Each structure stands twice: as structure tokens, then as C-alpha cells.
């Protein structure tokens, strides 16, 4: 017997209570595994892609931006939501170009993760990018982003010291670092001691 089936909740009613540009909020009624009914509030999200762009010298392009809900500036990897009719790789390429001005000749899918499983269906797809060319940023008019190249091994240290503390960025950097060690599209010229 598959014991996971004993954990599954069944939606019996769903009502959209907010329909925004990005997020849609629902109030559902769910039948629990024991037969009782409970309310569930959750956010529908279109999904997103995040990119770790790796230069041949071992640098990665990071971005810094202010995040309004927590009123702080964060180190982040380039990322953004998937637009309608857009593939994941197209989103990764577009977000990389818009936020950093970088175009990539190569992309590789590293994996995906769910950042907010308690209240959202958002999934973030992680890509590594290389064979990079730097042009000019093309950010949205309501987006203010600063870019900086940093050694890959240094940003991994920044994760471990807590200087990088955006959850998406932490996961993307560590997963891509591990992926890079195993797949090695090219040898990084800088390395950890």
C-alpha cells in the first residue's frame, strides 16, 4: 500500500478571491484524509525561472535589488516569471538579458523547486548559462537593478555566511554549484580551497 495516499487532501470547492497582475488568491474547502473538511487559502503563480550565468573566468553575474515586502536590498540571481506562451528556457534567456544585459550561448536545466509549498503553487526552474556576451540592461521601467560579477566560489561562501539570504538565490547557487562540479561544461579557473 502506498502510504502517501493516506496524506492526500481532495478539493471540494474553490473560489478566487483576488485576481492581480501576477498573483491569484483562492479560498478552497478541502476534504482531509480523515474525512473532515478544512479551509485552505493559497496563491496561484505562473511559475518562474532563475539563471546562474557563469563566465569563463569563474565569475557569476549577480544582481542587487530592493524588495518592497521586506524593505531590504538583496543579492539575487537573475530571475522572473514565465510569461504566457513562453518556454522555460525562453524565460531564462529573457530575464538574463533584461536584468543583466547578458546573452548566453548555452543553457542547461539544473532542476526545479517549490519555494512556498504552504501557501502557493509557485515552481522555480533553475538554469545554468555560459558562453556569455555582455550588452546593456533592458529592465522594466518599474525595476531598478544593479549588476555585479563575483567569483562563483565567493558567492557560495556568501551563502554560507548569510550575506546572501534570498531563498531562491541560495537554492539556485548551491544547486548550480553542485551541478557544475558534476557536469563541468568548462573548467572554472577559480576554485574553493
Q: Tell me the CATH number at 93.
A: 3.90.79.10
User: Is the domain of 96 the same as that of 127?
Assistant: yes
141 catalytically annotated: yes
Confidence label for 184 from pLDDT (cuts 50, 70 and 90): confident
Q: And the C-alpha cell for 166?
A: 534570498
User: Is the domain of 63 the same as that of 20?
Assistant: no
User: Is the domain of 76 the same as that of 25?
Assistant: no
User: Is the domain of 167 the same as that of 149?
Assistant: yes
For residues 79-108, give the mean pLDDT: 96
User: Is the domain of 135 the same as that of 170?
Assistant: yes
Dihedral sign, CA of 94, 109, 155, 159? positive
What pLDDT does 148 receive?
A: 96
Percentage of the chain beyond pLDDT 70 is 95
**Residue 87 belongs to some domain of the structure:** yes
**Residue 53 belongs to some domain of the structure:** yes
User: Is the domain of 62 the same as that of 142?
Assistant: yes
| pLDDT, tens only, 54-84 | 999 999 999 999 999 999 999 999 999 999 9
**Residue 188 belongs to some domain of the structure:** no
Q: pTM of the prediction?
A: 0.90
Catalytic pick from 122, 141, 154, 163? 141
For residue 114, what are the domain limits? Answer: 48-183
Amino acid at each position: 500500500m502506498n502510504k502517501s495516499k493516506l496524506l492526500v487532501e481532495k478539493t471540494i470547492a474553490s473560489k478566487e478571491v483576488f485576481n492581480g497582475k501576477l498573483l491569484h488568491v483562492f479560498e478552497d474547502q478541502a476534504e482531509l484524509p480523515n474525512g473532515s473538511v478544512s479551509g485552505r487559502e493559497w496563491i496561484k503563480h505562473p511559475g518562474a525561472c532563475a539563471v546562474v550565468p557563469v563566465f569563463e573566468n569563474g565569475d557569476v553575474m549577480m544582481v542587487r535589488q530592493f524588495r518592497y515586502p521586506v524593505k531590504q536590498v538583496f543579492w539575487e540571481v537573475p530571475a522572473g516569471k514565465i510569461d504566457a506562451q513562453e518556454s522555460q528556457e525562453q524565460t531564462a534567456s529573457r530575464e538574463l538579458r533584461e536584468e543583466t544585459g547578458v546573452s548566453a550561448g548555452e543553457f542547461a536545466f539544473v532542476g526545479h523547486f517549490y519555494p512556498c509549498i504552504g501557501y502557493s503553487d509557485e515552481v522555480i526552474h533553475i538554469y545554468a548559462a555560459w558562453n556569455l556576451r555582455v550588452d546593456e540592461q533592458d529592465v522594466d521601467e518599474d525595476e531598478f537593478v544593479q549588476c555585479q560579477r563575483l567569483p562563483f566560489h565567493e558567492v557560495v561562501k556568501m551563502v554560507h555566511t548569510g550575506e546572501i539570504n534570498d531563498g531562491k538565490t541560495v537554492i539556485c547557487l548551491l544547486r548550480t554549484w553542485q551541478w557544475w562540479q558534476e557536469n563541468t561544461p568548462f573548467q572554472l579557473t577559480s576554485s574553493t580551497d
